[in-house]
Structure 1
């Protein structure tokens, strides 16, 4: 893999299951960061590198400089180029201008918000204020308190309020973007075909799979439930990765509030209910625990707190709640395909590619036919009936 050609140091990273692994991407080094920060006049002179991120899809670190604490994130050029990062950064700048507590990207000497060096693309931010309470939390880890869930729901509503009026087109097709273009259509199969054709690695992986039959079996029945509600979905730029670990908190207590919103790497033009369904999928269901305890996977108390927090600013109608229940089984599908594209086409990891397709794309939808999955959907439908 060409990504490993220049830097050999690796860090422990979050894997795709409940284990830690050696990172796909080489760790940022002090010399590398010093070289990159020369292009960011506000960042100051580096003094010491104090932390490496365990997140799997990029490399990131915190550098202490004479100007303060700097967060540096490095992507492979096949994952993000300067234009793709600029799409994210313009959305974040809009949210910041509308009062949302976010971390805006620092400009280079040329005024860009990202920088390319060889086959890497870099972005630089001030270290955002707040406690990184869920720093070591794996994907799909639940909130640790109902107060946290309520605050996260309320902040998500604030984000949707701040996003109003941002009318940039959807992002260009690229790796690791959580879009909503397939199952938002009245007939999803032509959209799925087009999605696959735009991504040669996905097409290659699926060439020997009966993917049309698999989609028809596992996903299309859920789409039939969603279809009556599609016209009610209003396009909106959204976060698309609303997990507790992408939020910074006021303190370490169970009563902490969200202080800063991080990581807009998956942001795109979807809709508010897609974002809210993603928040449920990320924080309420312990997907990684399915092999160990299949009957204790969902946290309905945290779900209610999340929804109550959201509704405290943006009340949900009965139709919206029913739409949310119909959308939830499909909300992870397109990002699962994006992960398949990444693992098969960029990191060349067959095990992870199989996880992305069989376990995430097909399996997460199929889980909603299980007793626990049905219980979660019934709970949402029950909330709708109370409205």
Structure 2
């Protein structure tokens, strides 16, 4: 489906090495066709950069009126309705003073369009520099100052998000939600989750997935759902990695100038989003091997939390939930990744990696000495 005409472009893969992309790159001819729906932009002169990020295709276009960021999704991943869910959240944040990407309106003020099997959106280039342009998922902050600034920006976003009134997103692949473990019976919730995902059902047919969930994951779920019921759900970013931020040095301090990529956003909890930021930036998962060990950047962790709490201090309950939810924040998205790789991309190899490493391996690590040390470190902060 996506495996054709990839030309010389390489993409971020499941590890540290660049790989063949899942989706072909945007061509100049294609960009010209997209811009017919955006008459105020004018003609495209050239494409100056193609994104190496997985799951979609994106490029920067130089046009008669300046530079724009063009993004294309396959309709099986995002249709117009799904994109508009993200755009409404972005608009709310912008109206509340957050430095988010600026979505461009086309014909009839629409901000997303369908052409053939693709869904398109266009953004103005955000303010700031892409310090982490080449950083793959789960790579750490370059310094504690960046971690502190990222924590501040995340807290500011959560405060603005509290007044965004919208239901949870409709079912789409590759959304980072937290519905399975926000319940008293996760296995039953997974069974409900599977009812509308036939490819995932087929993949799991020969897996002892219930045994794996019960053996490795359910211990971390105990009492978590009870605590979560006491917290207010809000819309969250759910992919808070340094590479989804644009940066500047302002008076000698690292500053987040633009927040990018709300593709994984959904209604969860502020503390879930914070735990995801820890999971994305603080633990070097790509080191994980047979020894089930990887580096934890405690200095960056302290800076991230300090920056966050300088704007929005965690409640006592949120501090308790933080170390309880951390081992589980990637589980539901890992199921979605398996569904994507097996059902859409047709890569059983990547689906196996998502199951064995992302779904099970990451959670197992939290039962190892390094993982337990991290959880105990977060526990000790509660009463510090």
Match of 1:114 among 112, 115, 119: 112
Per the TM alignment, residue 8 of structure 1 is displaced from its structure 2 partner at its CA by: 4.6
Q: Which residue of 1 aligns with 2:241?
A: 243
Q: Does the residue aligned with 2:169 lie in a helix, a strand or coil?
A: coil
Match of 1:194 among 185, 192, 195: 192
Q: Which residue of 1 aligns with 2:96?
A: 98
Q: Which residue of 2 aligns with 1:88?
A: 86
Q: Which residue of 1 aligns with 2:381?
A: 383
Q: Which residue of 2 aligns with 1:344?
A: 342
Q: Does the residue aligned with 2:108 lie in a helix, a strand or coil?
A: coil
Q: Which residue of 1 aligns with 2:76?
A: 78
Q: Does the residue aligned with 2:107 lie in a helix, a strand or coil?
A: coil
Per the TM alignment, residue 44 of structure 1 is displaced from its structure 2 partner at its CA by: 2.5
1:245-260 pair list within 5 angstroms: 245-251=243-249, 255-260=253-258
* Number of equivalenced pairs: 384
Per the TM alignment, residue 92 of structure 1 is displaced from its structure 2 partner at its CA by: 0.4
Per the TM alignment, residue 111 of structure 1 is displaced from its structure 2 partner at its CA by: 2.1
The answer to whether the aligner puts 1:232 opposite 2:230 as a matched pair is yes
Please say which of residues 72-81 and 183-192 is displaced more in the overlay.
Answer: 183-192
Per the TM alignment, residue 129 of structure 1 is displaced from its structure 2 partner at its CA by: 1.0
1:1-387 pair list within 5 angstroms: 1=1, 3-4=2-3, 7-251=5-249, 255-291=253-289, 297-386=295-384
Task: Verify the 8 A CA contact 1:92 1:102 in the aligned structure 2.
Answer: yes
Task: Verify the 8 A CA contact 2:6 2:23 in the aligned structure 1.
Answer: no
Task: Verify the 8 A CA contact 1:91 1:166 in the aligned structure 2.
Answer: yes
Task: Verify the 8 A CA contact 1:243 1:279 in the aligned structure 2.
Answer: yes
Task: Verify the 8 A CA contact 2:148 2:308 in the aligned structure 1.
Answer: yes
Task: Verify the 8 A CA contact 1:80 1:121 in the aligned structure 2.
Answer: yes
d(CA) in 1 for partners of 2:261 and 2:223?
Answer: 32
CA distance change for structure 1 residues 337 and 143 in 2, over 3 Å: closer, same or farther?
same
With normalisation by structure 2, the TM-score equals 0.97
CA distance change for structure 1 residues 292 and 251 in 2, over 3 Å: closer, same or farther?
farther
Per the TM alignment, residue 325 of structure 1 is displaced from its structure 2 partner at its CA by: 0.1
Task: Verify the 8 A CA contact 1:344 1:353 in the aligned structure 2.
Answer: yes
Can you give the 5+ residue segments of structure 2 that lack an aligned partner in the other structure?
A: none
Per the TM alignment, residue 302 of structure 1 is displaced from its structure 2 partner at its CA by: 0.5
Q: Does the residue aligned with 2:101 lie in a helix, a strand or coil?
A: coil
Per the TM alignment, residue 41 of structure 1 is displaced from its structure 2 partner at its CA by: 2.3
d(CA) in 1 for partners of 2:246 and 2:6?
Answer: 31
Q: Does the residue aligned with 2:69 lie in a helix, a strand or coil?
A: strand
d(CA) in 1 for partners of 2:266 and 2:7?
Answer: 32
d(CA) in 1 for partners of 2:361 and 2:378?
Answer: 21
Runs of 4+ in 1 over 3 A off after TM superposition: 251-255, 292-296
- Write out per-residue CA displacement over residues 317-361 of structure 1, whole angstroms, 9 at most, x where no aligned residue: 332111100000000001101101110110001111011111111
Q: Does the residue aligned with 1:28 lie in a helix, a strand or coil?
A: coil
- Write out per-residue CA displacement over residues 351-375 of structure 1, whole angstroms, 9 at most, x where no aligned residue: 1101111111111111100111011
d(CA) in 1 for partners of 2:6 and 2:272?
Answer: 39
d(CA) in 2 for partners of 1:156 and 1:248?
Answer: 13
d(CA) in 2 for partners of 1:358 and 1:296?
Answer: 16
Per the TM alignment, residue 285 of structure 1 is displaced from its structure 2 partner at its CA by: 0.1
Task: Verify the 8 A CA contact 1:285 1:298 in the aligned structure 2.
Answer: yes
Task: Verify the 8 A CA contact 2:138 2:280 in the aligned structure 1.
Answer: yes
Q: Aligned Cα RMSD in Å?
A: 1.7
Per the TM alignment, residue 106 of structure 1 is displaced from its structure 2 partner at its CA by: 1.1
Q: Does the residue aligned with 1:56 lie in a helix, a strand or coil?
A: coil
Per the TM alignment, residue 253 of structure 1 is displaced from its structure 2 partner at its CA by: 11
